[in-house]
Amino acid sequence: MQWRNTSERYGVVTLCMHWAVAFAVFGLFGLGLWMTGLDYYSPWYQTAPSIHKGIGMLLLGLMVLRVVWRLSTPAPDGLPTHGRMTRLATRLGHAFLYAVLFAVMISGYLISTADGRPVSVFGLFEVPATLTSLPRQEDVAGLVHEYLAWALVVFAAIHALAALKHHFIDRDTTLLRMLGRS
């Protein structure tokens, strides 16, 4: 398998980034839901948010790399069976996923740094707090983070259902291409 995308198929770098982001998003969503129910005396009360923040910051870095990679190695051409509206929906859907994903991560960063402390990424490095003076920063960013996280997961599920529709109903190779097959 080739590293870079071709006009017919995705390269291994794109595939790995796609699936890493997908697993991270759903994992972070599940972890976020679970940790909001923890009480102060839970042994995970400090640990779960630290894991959530660390993975979130790594995901932000991966998404920046993913955007750079996408600009340097364009996606394969659309399938000939895809009409103009399908191609437009694909472009708009991916743009929406990218925008909401970045907004979720930025709002999470704003929650974590509202008190002026940096975000520790598993003790390996820290992401400094750069914007800390917004009124009610933690509360507003928290609401944005929660609602956009739900929107992201719902839209990602729709994205997955669309891929399954292409595979089982349209019988085209859309899903197979994202699995590294032709």
Asked if residue 105 is part of any domain, the answer here is yes
Does residue 128 surpass a pLDDT of 90?
yes
* Predicted pLDDT at 182: 67
For residue 7, is it within any domain? no
The pLDDT value recorded for residue 85 is 94
Asked if 60 and 109 touch (Cβ cutoff 8 Å), the reply is yes
Is 3 part of any domain? Answer: no
Query: Which pTM value belongs to this model?
Result: 0.93
| The predicted structure's pLDDT at residue 63 | 98
Name the pLDDT band for 133 (thresholds 50, 70, 90): confident
Query: For residue 123, what are the CA distances in angstroms to 11, 34, 47, 118, 120?
Result: 32, 23, 12, 11, 6
Mean pLDDT for the stretch of residues 62-82: 93
Q: What is the mean pLDDT of residues 144-168?
A: 97
Report CA torsion sign: 22, 28, 32, 38. positive
pLDDT tens per residue, range 85-121: 999 999 999 999 999 999 999 999 999 999 999 999 9
Tokens of 175: 């899903």
Among residues 6, 21, 109, the alpha carbon closest in space to that of 64 is found at 21
Residue 181 has what pLDDT?
Answer: 81
Averaged pLDDT, 2-15: 92
Q: Is residue 6 part of a domain?
A: no
Domain total in the chain: 1
Residue 6 vs residue 93, higher pLDDT: 93
- The answer to whether position 18 is within a domain reads yes
40: containing domain: 12-178
Q: Which residue has the higher pLDDT, 133 or 23?
A: 23
Q: How confident is the model at residue 180 (pLDDT cuts 50, 70, 90)?
A: confident
DSSP state of 134: S
Reply yes or no on whether the pLDDT at 1 is more than 80.
Answer: no
For the segment 45-55, the average pLDDT, to the nearest whole number, is 97
> What per-residue confidence (pLDDT) applies to 7?
86
Q: Do the domain assignments include residue 169?
A: yes
User: What is the share, in percent, of the chain residues with pLDDT greater than 70?
Assistant: 99
